[in-house]
Amino acid sequence: MRYCIPFSLSIFSIVSVAVVFHLPIATVAFATTQPHYSSKLQQHQHHVKYNTKRFAIADEEKEKETVETENPMSTNDEIERRTWNPLRLMVLKLGFTELKFTSPLNYEKRDGLYNCAYCDLDLFDSDGKYEPNSGWPSFWRSTKDGHVTYKKEWDGRLEAKCGRCDSHLGHVFLDGPLPSKVEKDLLENAPASDPRGIRTNGYLPRFCMNGASLNFQKSDEKK
């Protein structure tokens, strides 16, 4: 069976992905012709273009009632403006990993929230951010129970996903800071859903996130 590159997938997107991930253009073009990736891209493009109605009635549907109530879904236009970047879409919807030390959020020191770049759900805050020198924005705790969900991958890694829109964020490793290295009150208020090691005094989790999957919101801009 022959496959052709979908008409809706621009040459610009293919070239952008090839440049960002240092891949031959022919390799990226071939990957997009495969049924899995082609359908993923087409589904996302259809979602962004035609899914206004879903976001307009999100509060009525209450698919995830608690999260939806605390953080209303952004409008379709806002999502489209935030996610037009090919790299961001490849990370959020296809599970790609950005190159280390390339995200400005890796060097962000200001107080504020780190929200999902797709649906704007608050995922992490500056109190939980720390520097393990991994090359990606890293946190030892999330903001609230259920705002980050987890999925075991085939290679044993634990994938972190947005609790509302199911977008790929990065991975979680149990090699974060020791409990004695973080503020006691912050540790006591850490969400119970955050992964923890077997040992009581073992390492806290290290949320190793793609900067492309997050939007930073300064404290004075918090809703």
> Are 143 and 189 spatial neighbours (Cβ–Cβ below 8 Å)?
no
> Are 120 and 216 spatial neighbours (Cβ–Cβ below 8 Å)?
no
List the one residue out of 162, 156, 158 whose CA is nearest residue 208. Answer: 158
Q: What is the DSSP string of 180-212?
A: GGS-HHHHHTS-TTS---SSTT-PPPEEEE-GG
* Backbone φ and ψ of 152, nearest 5°: -75, 125
- 208 flagged as catalytic: yes
Residue count of the chain:
223
Catalytic-labelled residue, pool 119, 162, 165, 208: 208
Q: Which residues are catalytic?
A: 208
